[in-house]
Amino acid sequence: MANNVLKFSDIVAAQSRLRGVSKITTLLHSKSFSVMSDANIFLKLENMQTTGAFKVRGAYNKLACLTKEEASRGVVAASAGNHAQGVAFSASKLGMKSTIFMPIFTPPLKVLATKGYGAEVILAGESFDDAFAASQEYCKEHNATYIHPFNDPLIIAGQGTIGLEIHDQLPDVDVVIVPIGGGGLISGVALAIKEMNPNIRVIGVQAEGAASMYTSRNEHHIVALPTVNTIADGIAVKRPGDLTFDLVQQYVDEIVTVSDTEIAHTAYLLLQRAKILAEPSGVTSMAAALFKKTDIKGKNVVPLISGGNINMQILEQIVEKGMVEEGLRSTIQVIIPDQSGELKNLLSIFENLKMNIYDIKHERSISTVPIGKAMVVIQFNLQNQSQLQLIVDALKERHLECTVIA
């Protein structure tokens, strides 16, 4: 199908508007991830972008192109995260009033960040759809200008500037992997890349629990999912855009999906091995490469790390789970006599083996604990997996009943 909505020249024009506003983000070669992926991996670090995500590119490009009359009415957006901050920052930069609608469950840090960029934040409804509906009502009442997060040519053109940067930083790139929510990011990046070199493969990635573009592509028409369920909240979109769907059909070679488990493990590895903090939606591209969802063996591959604004509660869980998976943290349950000095004796075993206890819980009232006994659950850090067996063996020597939980 022909693309009559967006041209390569629109992306080049966006790049000029963004000069001095958005950063030309680093393209970082990763030896560790190259080995793990059997490819030559270069990470495009949009998590280091102004406002912590790529969204500022599209938001600023859109706002910079508003008429004086549109700008004077103020701008409105609905977002649980990165689009909100991109619009708020851009509006302040351009001297416009911005009002952002966010669901009531939005993490407080994201609300504070959006307010910090100069926006008025209105919390409305329990879901993004509720916040979106409230934003539409507000626009009608106040005659304000609505800024869509992805289904807009100027938004897409702004995001496409990343494609220009990737090609400039690595002209011999073979594969570019891009996260997909509503499709604004990959639409712009794919158009830019394909116009410069149609032989470069562009791969889209969605979370298994929010695979609206993946499903729509397979069905050859736009499909709205009844629900979405993923830790990658930044790409949890029920329905792709009309414009983005058409652009994806034309310019994207393949779409794959990754599970929440794969996303979480990738986020942990990026933090631990590369010292890169990225949000779940932002690491889906690297997850696709790491878990070999598409053929990239021996290729120069650029996974686009789209954002770094992670919920601290999710980060804590990701680190916890990652340490367990790598054998760096374990949890055991031990039954000890409920007598004075027995807990001290138990802890002395860990002290003698130079084990660092992370958390400890003591329980005697639940039905599974025999009368006269106490259950102690100990979570501890390991230098390597073999240390776990040392603990188990030492407990057995003391005739203590123990179970490894994780």
Q: Note the CATH architecture for domain 8-54+152-321.
A: 3-Layer(aba) Sandwich (3.40)
Secondary structure of residue 265 in the 3-state scheme: helix
- Which percentage of the chain shows pLDDT scores above 70? 99
Taking the CA atoms of residue 152, residue 7, residue 167 and residue 43 in that order, the dihedral angle to the nearest 10 degrees is: 10
72 belongs to the catalytic site? no
The confidence score (pLDDT) of residue 353 equals 87
- The CATH fold assigned to 57-146 is Rossmann fold (3.40.50)
pLDDT bracket for residue 3 (50, 70, 90): low
Helix/strand number for the chain, H first, E second: 16, 14
Q: Do domains 8-54+152-321 and 327-404 have the same CATH topology?
A: no
Residue entry with tokens 């986020």: 267
- The arrangement of strands across the sheet holding 145-146 comes to 120-123, 98-102, 75-78, 145-146
- The CATH fold assigned to 327-404 is Alpha-Beta Plaits (3.30.70)
297 belongs to the catalytic site? no
- Options 22, 90, 306, 330, the catalytic residue: 306
Secondary structure of residue 127 in the 3-state scheme: coil
Q: What is the C-alpha separation between 186 and 164, in angstroms, rounded?
A: 13
The confidence score (pLDDT) of residue 4 equals 66
Beta strands in 128-174 (DSSP E): 145-146
Q: What is the C-alpha separation between 374 and 362, in angstroms, rounded?
A: 7
pLDDT bracket for residue 106 (50, 70, 90): confident
Decide if 139 contacts 146 (C-beta within 8 A): yes
- Options 44, 55, 110, 299, the catalytic residue: 55
Q: Is the pLDDT of residue 108 over 50?
A: yes
Q: Of 24-33, 312-321, 395-404, give the range with the top mean pLDDT.
A: 24-33
The confidence score (pLDDT) of residue 1 equals 41
For helices 184-196 and 8-18, angle between their N-to-C axes, nearest 10 degrees: 110
Secondary structure of residue 353 in the 3-state scheme: coil
The confidence score (pLDDT) of residue 224 equals 93
Chain centroid to CA 86: how far? 16
Q: What is the pLDDT of residues 382-405, one digit of tens each?
A: 888 788 899 999 999 988 888 998
Long-range contacts of 294-298 (CB under 8 A, 24+ apart): 294/175, 294/177, 294/203, 294/254, 294/256, 296/37, 296/38, 296/39, 296/174, 296/175, 297/38, 297/39, 298/38, 298/39, 298/40
Secondary structure of residue 341 in the 3-state scheme: coil
Q: What is the pLDDT of residues 200-225, one digit of tens each?
A: 999 999 999 999 999 999 999 999 99
Summarize the confidence of residues 287-297 as an average pLDDT: 98
Q: What is the pLDDT of residues 132-188, one digit of tens each?
A: 899 999 999 999 999 999 999 999 999 999 999 999 999 999 999 999 999 999 999
The confidence score (pLDDT) of residue 384 equals 81
The confidence score (pLDDT) of residue 370 equals 87
The confidence score (pLDDT) of residue 47 equals 97
Q: Is the pLDDT of residue 251 over 80?
A: yes
Domain boundaries, the chain: 8-54+152-321, 57-146, 327-404
Residue 316: Cβ within 10 Å count: 11
Q: What is the pLDDT of residues 46-62, one digit of tens each?
A: 999 999 999 999 999 99
Summarize the confidence of residues 26-42 as an average pLDDT: 97
The confidence score (pLDDT) of residue 191 equals 98
Decide if 171 contacts 19 (C-beta within 8 A): no
DSSP, res 183:
S
The confidence score (pLDDT) of residue 327 equals 86
